[in-house]
Amino acid sequence: MTTKYLRNLLLGGAALALLAACGEKGDHAAHDHGDEPHASTEMTDDASGDALAATTEENPLLREWDTPFGIPPFSLVSDEDYLPAFEQGIAELEAEVDLIINNPEEPTFDNTIKALETSGATLTRVSNVFGNITNTDTNDDLQALESQIYPRLSKVYDGIALNDDLWARIKTLYETRDTLGLGKQEMRVLELYHRDFVRRGADLEPETKERMKEINAELSELTTKFGQNLLAETKDFELVITDEADLAGLQQSFIDSAKKTAEGKGRDDAWIFGLNRSVYEGFMTQSENRELRKQLFEGYTQRADNGGDTDSGEIILRIARLRAEAARLRGYDNHAHFQLETRMAKTAQNTEEFLLQVWRPGLATAKAELAEMQAMVDASDNPYKVEAWDWWHLSEKVRQEKYAFDDSQLKPYFEMDAVWDGAFYMAENLFGITFTKLEDTPVWHPSVSVYDLQDADGTHLGVFMVDMYARDSKRGGAWMSTYRGASNVDGNNIRPIVTNNLNLTKPASDDAPTLMAFNEVETLFHEFGHGLHGLMTTQNYDRISGVGGPRDYTEFPAQILEHWASEPEMLAVYAKHYDTGEVIPTELVDKLKEAANHNEGFRTTEFIAASLLDLRWHMLNEEEANAITDPREFEKEVLAEYGLIPEIEPRYRSPYFSHIFAGGYSAGYYAYLWSEILDADGFDAFKETGDIFDPEVALRLRIHVYEAGAVEEADELYRKFRGKDPSIEPLLRNRGFTDGS
């Protein structure tokens, strides 16, 4: 097994391994807990063999799962089962790695690399369940366990990655790789294991390795705490409205949902709005009450930045300093240098230049959008200076004025189940695959749906599980993750169990339809792309299967599918009025396309502002990182340097930028935009044929992208699909920017 779980740990810490490929829309917060771990659940460095053996028969995490397709038996697992299961998994992994290290035979691919690939199966299984459940159905006890388990796992994997004897075996194989007669996949896996161990620090001096262990352990604690702070701040904030007049402008379904939220909190006299991204965007867009918009805006943008116990300022500084120190110890100028070395962008300079190429026209467009909104306000009966909390609302007003429609007209045509039918239709017509809904399978929450994915010949490809609704026990945002990865070693063909997670607002009543805004539809198609990337893989080794690859490439298989969502041929299939069954009218489709680039300056600017902020945090060398004492001032200086206007906040400010301070996107948030080069250019391959389901292009996309994993370097995989290097022009064209100047 070691699989991507070990690989991610080799590259950068326990919490990293459990953050799956995320969609861009929304927050990606981790978890919160308030108390120190209870002594009775403290993890130890060793465990009694008798005690571990005794737990096997009674612990559902340690038994074989007699369930359809081996889906975890969620209802049988209690919070108390995780700790002993982790202990047994760790013991098994360490014993298996010891056998590799102490093997008296000369190292071979089978007795070293393959043995590592297939080790730690129990720990992987337990870790995957724990990591997914703490993302989707957490509680105080599980949050307390995170703070114990992740530092412990970091220590365990440091012990593996920095073991001199294991490294000697891998290094010997790598240096003689051309004489081993390896196949393509085996050679690639060996090369990547060697690279992973080098980047983790296996070739460092002994005292440096010890310091790296200390850094990794502390980073694991800090990133976990960062995510917990964010979840606490997000959950604690409530905008409580008691005067019905203050609901002016809000759609009735939105009001009903807020009423249901309030009733669930014992407030029958109120409407409650929180900081879930879909709620935030909906309120900021619809509400006519400027003061309430300001309150919600400040609640959202000041999370973990208020000087209290859940303020993350010092955590941010410490993370930046430790990452800079670790980069120096590894021989790199800074953390960005280290991170980008294996990505398509290669260097921080290349990344910054690329971002600025899109930033300049984006910012210019945003300023024009601001002027247009200010003119509208100046001409009204109540003129005022447009502020950041006005942008969403006024932008929608401009759109309604220019294009004579709004989301309330579109939503009835985007009912959630019908949208999923459309996504499945797209997948079947592109790749010949089919999804069959399964009943009576284990799920972690009653609202989860489960599907059996089959190839055109009936071959089972994987299990797809969908969790669509927001709730207090679930982190925000949208993401894909994996309960079981794919591999086929020695004929043991294991197919994946993949999940898609969104945070839609649940309707006020169970029999009401779930109607989606079009940007939520695009998010669904995006996460579905990640899901297919994980489900359709054909590589034998988990190290190179599924969503493997550099961060600035792995968003491409998700983002390219967003293009199908708005194609007229697709809309005719799935965009039907939930009540009448009427296909979305042509005039609404035309308006949707005409308005596609409305507010594009804002969207581009807020995203790139966050990307540049991420990059600059991680371009700091150790001396520079140590010199910063106030993360807020650093953030202000960076954004001012690039000319960000005060009416636009970056999509994520540092205190709630969990992508980079609690997840795997450090020096990598730009990846969504870089991948847009690929998805815009890649979709052109279909448009050039005049058929969005062209079978030849679709076959290349399947073979060289969705099935390929990381079997080759990302740029080579893209060239095999597209037949050429990508061009940035389609990206600029799609955003309405005629050039990059």
Residues with a known catalytic role:
527
The tokens describing 428, both together, are 């079947």
What is d(CA 687, CA 679) in angstroms, rounded to the nearest whole number? Answer: 12
499: β partners: 465, 481
What is d(CA 281, CA 302) in angstroms, rounded to the nearest whole number? Answer: 16
The phi and psi torsions of 484 (rounded to 5 degrees) equal -150, 130
**Helix residue ranges, H only, 302-347:** 313-330, 335-340
Nearest alpha-carbon partner for 174 in 189, 185, 162: 189
Per-residue burial over 312-332, b if 16 or more Cβ lie within 10 Å, else e, is: bbebbbbbbbbbbbbbbbbeb
- Indicate the pairing of strand 239-241 with strand 449-454: unpaired
Identity of the residue numbered 300: Y
Helix (H), strand (E) at residue 348: helix 348-378
C-alpha distances (whole Å) from 325 to each of 18, 190, 319, 599, 628 are 24, 28, 10, 40, 14
Cβ pair 537, 709 in contact under 8 A: yes
Q: Count the neighbouring beta carbons within 10 Å of the beta carbon of residue 581.
A: 8
Helix (H), strand (E) at residue 240: strand 239-241
Cβ pair 55, 88 in contact under 8 A: yes
The tokens describing 704, both together, are 């060289």
The tokens describing 590, both together, are 């035309």
What is d(CA 613, CA 634) in angstroms, rounded to the nearest whole number? Answer: 9
